[in-house]
Amino acid sequence: MSALVRILRFTRSLTPYYIGIMISAAIVTAAGLAVPFITGRATDIVVDAVTAIAGGNDVSETAIRSVLLLALALLAASLIDTVVSNVGGYWGDVMSAKMRAILSTRYFDKLLNLPQRYYDNELTGTIVSRLNRSITEITNFMKSFSNMFVMLILTTLSVLVISIWYYWPLALLLAIAYPTYFWLTALTSRKWQRIEGEKNEHVDIASGRFAEVVGQIKVVKSFARESSELEHFKDHFGNTVTLTKEQSAYWHKMDTLRRAVLNVIFFGIYLLIFVRTVQGHFSPGEMVMLIQLMALAREPVTSLSWVVDTAQRAIAGSRSYFEVMELDPAKIEGTGGRPHAPSISDGPDVPMISFKNVRFGYDDADDVLDGISFEVDRGERIAFVGESGGGKTTLINLLMGLYATRSGDIEVAGIDADLMTLRQTIGVVFQDPALFSGTVAENIAYGKPDATEEEIAAVARRAAVDSFVAKFPNGYETLIGERGMKLSGGQKQRIAVARAMLKDAPILVLDEATSALDTKSERLVQAGLDDLMRGRTSLIIAHRLSTIAEVDRIVTLKNGRIDEIGTPAQLASSGGIYAELLALQNSSSKADRKRLRDFEVIG
């Protein structure tokens, strides 16, 4: 019930549809209830007329007129049913489409605003599968519920009242039938739901893997893992079959029981009606009417089980839906801080970026960074050097506000408190270029959707994108496939660089931005980047030492802490990591090369 209330509250804007559907259901039900009375009345007229004819009388004109009118009434009732149920059906369709739109959009909106950390622990396919199932089930339920709820109540009440009027023991038997059936149905529900949850989990896991495998099909093929991936997938669905057998056997056993109980009760009802008619308490017409009425009374009972069935699914579905909707970003994130603007009292000369004793680790794992403090002045170029896995990318993630720190402070001048402006202030080229399907132009303009063709062409030139795009028959309109699959690593990286260039943000972050490029292209892109960095606060994680020889300062990281900070010249002679790397770069021994690779740096 609380699930229903939540859904209703969530989709308040659909209230007119719910009401419309309920009214049409009420009219259809009323038309249906009229039928037994009409046929009952007709039966009595027919029986009287036939008896009269048997007694030697003429065919009565009034009887014919009456049955004609009654037949017309039947026609009217079925026409009303036909028209109104179609109108209600239309409203039902629109209602479910709208509901699907509302629930999906809110879900997407919620997901878009969940912290990065949530995504680190979820599979894309699982998120999608859960969304689809939850929403389909909630929507189906609301549709059948708004259709059947009124029908159920109205039919039940009218049948009860009519039976009390004609013969109260009939009403008593019905009054026993309804709650018994409902109780048995509810009893079935708990176990059914538990198994349904287990089944869904299997489907979600399989779908998550499915999406991952399809997304990285190349790796699967290259390692010849098709059959084992398929096996894995099949196993999960195999489990759902096993679970369904248990679930369905149970359900049908319970259904047999509850329907048998119902059959016995209705046996009693029919027996009463027949015997009372034979005894002369009911006319044949009344008997026909009552029998039809009881058939109608049976309907809500069985459709009740359908409502309960979809309700069970909807409850399970809405649970996982609302679980996501009610996630508290702050809880996922932990209690630490995000980058914020320095206080005004700090004066006008505050550094562009300052890390103050920052400590951070992912989830519950050990600290990746600890006691990180440094400042970057406006327009300064600063490079980070450290071993692979040393936390350089993590540092950038923290600066972008993708994760909250465990302790310490990050201040970025010129931003408001919110993350949106922070991220608008930073142009970033990630280690993994991460493009979208769509055209080259769309990807370059991702950070500035209203960019003109000239602007796109200009940055494309500076990022050496133009040289390879010129060879595509469709030029900038070339579709690049999912995540840019149709491009080489270097081409993707150049588009990512162009994308950051076009954003033209005050802070530039380059995380091994040219690692996939050959020396020649790298030189071209580097020239464009040097140009871009001029007068712009820049943080660079280098892949080649040569690309950071010109920076203002270098920060070296060691074991999650800052080892040294200084100009390239200072660090070259300090005997620290940078000096070591420089020396290694000039050496040709195998061991030295290997050591260099540990730093992801090549000579």
Ligand X SMILES: Nc1ncnc2c1ncn2[C@@H]1O[C@H](COP(=O)(O)OP(=O)(O)O)[C@@H](O)[C@H]1O
Query: How near is the Cβ of 460 to ligand X at its closest, in Å?
Result: 28
Query: How near is the Cβ of 95 to Mg ion at its closest, in Å?
Result: 49
How long is the chain? 603
Query: How near is the Cβ of 539 to ligand X at its closest, in Å?
Result: 12
Helix (H) or strand (E) holding 354: strand 353-360
Choose from ligand X, Mg ion, none: what does 388 bind? Cβ within 5-8 Å by kind.
Answer: ligand X
Give the three-state DSSP class for 535.
coil
DSSP string, 157-224: HHHHHHHHHH-HHHHHHHHHHHHHHHHHHHHHHHHHHHHHHHHHHHHHHHHHHHHHHHHTHHHHHHTT
Site string for ligand X, 387-406 (x = CB under 6 A): -xxxxxxx------------
Place of tokens 């649970």: 319
Site string for Mg ion, 383-412 (x = CB under 5 A): ----------x-------------------
Q: How far is Cα 444 from Cα 429, in angstroms, rounded to an integer?
A: 12
Q: Can residue 40 be called a binding residue for ligand X (CB under 6 A)?
A: no
Pick out residues in 112-131 that bind ligand X (CB under 6 A).
120
Choose from Mg ion, ligand X, none: what does 391 bind? Cβ within 5-8 Å by kind.
Answer: ligand X
Query: How near is the Cβ of 24 to ligand X at its closest, in Å?
Result: 52
Is 363 exposed, middle or buried (CB count within 10 Å of its CB: 0-12, 13-18, 19+)?
exposed
Query: How near is the Cβ of 389 to ligand X at its closest, in Å?
Result: 4
| Closer by beta carbon to ligand X, 276 or else 392 | 392
End-to-end CA distance of the chain: 67
Sheet with 353-360: strands ordered across: 369-376, 353-360, 407-412
Q: How far is Cα 424 from Cα 126, in angstroms, rounded to an integer?
A: 30
Give the three-state DSSP class for 323.
helix
Q: Please pick, from the candidates 339, 351, 386, 427, the single residue that binds ligand X as defined by CB under 6 A.
A: 386
Neighbours of 318 (CB within 10 A): 24
Query: How near is the Cβ of 392 to Mg ion at its closest, in Å?
Result: 5
Stretch that binds Mg ion, among 101-109, 424-432, 475-483, 531-539 (CB under 5 A): 424-432
| Closer by beta carbon to ligand X, 35 or else 396 | 396
| Closer by beta carbon to ligand X, 362 or else 472 | 362
| Closer by beta carbon to ligand X, 386 or else 490 | 386
Stretch that binds Mg ion, among 151-159, 365-373, 429-437, 513-521 (CB under 5 A): 429-437
Q: Which residue is nearest to Mg ion (CB)?
A: 393
559: left (phi over 0), alpha (psi -120 to 50) or beta: left
- Dihedral of the alpha carbons of 19, 21, 26, 27, in degrees to the nearest 10: 120
| Closer by beta carbon to Mg ion, 188 or else 515 | 515
Query: How near is the Cβ of 511 to ligand X at its closest, in Å?
Result: 7
For 378, residues 6+ apart whose C-beta sits below 8 A from its C-beta are 351, 352, 413, 537
Give the three-state DSSP class for 374.
strand
Choose from Mg ion, ligand X, none: what does 156 bind? Cβ within 5-8 Å by kind.
Answer: none
Stretch that binds ligand X, among 15-23, 384-392, 457-465, 477-485 (CB under 6 A): 384-392
Site string for ligand X, 430-469 (x = CB under 6 A): ----------------------------------------
Size of the site for Mg ion (CB under 5 A): 2
| Closer by beta carbon to Mg ion, 411 or else 512 | 512
65-73 own/partner pairs: CB under 8 Å, 24+ apart:
66/42, 67/42, 70/38, 70/39, 70/41, 70/42, 70/45, 71/42, 73/34, 73/38
- DSSP code, position 343: P
Choose from ligand X, Mg ion, none: what does 368 bind? Cβ within 5-8 Å by kind.
Answer: ligand X
Pick out residues in 345-364 that bind ligand X (CB under 6 A).
362
Query: How near is the Cβ of 597 to ligand X at its closest, in Å?
Result: 12
Size of the site for ligand X (CB under 6 A): 11
Pairing of strands 369-376, 353-360: antiparallel
For 424, residues 6+ apart whose C-beta sits below 8 A from its C-beta are 505
Query: How near is the Cβ of 576 to ligand X at its closest, in Å?
Result: 17
Stretch that binds ligand X, among 7-15, 174-182, 272-280, 381-389 (CB under 6 A): 381-389
**Beta-bridge partner residues of 137:** none
Query: How near is the Cβ of 14 to Mg ion at its closest, in Å?
Result: 47
Site residues (CB under 5 A) for Mg ion?
Answer: 393, 431
Site residues (CB under 6 A) for ligand X?
Answer: 120, 362, 368, 386, 388-394
